[in-house]
Amino acid sequence: MSAALPPTPEPVRIGIVSVSDRASTGVYEDKGLPALEEWLTRALKNPIAFEPRLIPDEAERISATLIELVDAGCTLVLTTGGTGPALRDVTPDATLAVAHKEMPGFGEQMRQISLRFVPTAILSRQVAVIRDRSLILNLPGQPKAIAETLEGLKNANGSQAVPGIFAAVPYCIDLIGGPYLETDDAVCKAFRPKTAIRTRA
C-alpha cells in the first residue's frame, strides 16, 4: 500500500550552479541560472528554495561548491556549462571527484536528446552522481538545450517523442531518502512504479 502525501507538497532545496569563466567575471550576462530556475519553477509543484552559484571553470572551486550545496541540504543540484572537451571544461571531472555513486543513464539520455539536433552532442561529457542523499546533474550550457534535456522532446500532437531526464528524477530522489517531488504533468510527468506513488487522502 502506498503512503499518503502531506496536505501540501513538501518544500525542497535545490542548488543551481552556472560554470563560466566569462559570466562569473561579468564579461557577459549569465543565462544558465535564470533558465534553470524558470524551468524548475514551472515543472515542480513543491515550494523551492534555490541556492544559486555563479562560478568560474575551476575544478577545485566546482567540487567545493557541490560539496557546500549538498552539506547545506540541497536534495538536487543542477550544474550548467563546462561539459565539453575544451581544456577549461572541467565540470564533469569536478563532479565525479565528489561522487559516492555514478548514475550513467542520465548522461546517456542527455546525449540521445541532443543528438536529435547536432552530431557534436557526442562531444558532451555530462555526468550524474549521487553524493550522500543528493543527486547532482550536469546539464548543457544553452537555455534551449537545458529545457530540452530536462523536459524531453514532443511530437507535433503533443505526445512524448523522447523522454527527458527529469521524468526519472523524483523517483531517484525517493530512493535516496529525499522529499517527495511532485511535477506538473503538462511540463514533465514524473514516472514512478505504482507502489511508489503517493496520494492525498
Domains of the chain, CATH where assigned: 12-196 (3.40.980.10)
Residue 1 pLDDT greater than 60, yes or no: no
At 47-100, the pLDDT tens digits run: 999 999 999 999 999 999 999 999 999 999 999 999 999 999 999 999 999 999
Alpha carbons 15 and 36: distance in angstroms, whole number: 10
Average pLDDT rounded to a whole number, residues 108-131: 95
CA end-to-end span of the chain: 13
- Mean predicted lDDT score pLDDT of the chain: 94
Residue 151 pLDDT greater than 80, yes or no: yes
Confidence (pTM) = 0.94
Residue 201 pLDDT greater than 70, yes or no: no
Q: Report whether 171 contacts 192 (CB < 8 A).
A: yes
Alpha carbons 51 and 77: distance in angstroms, whole number: 9
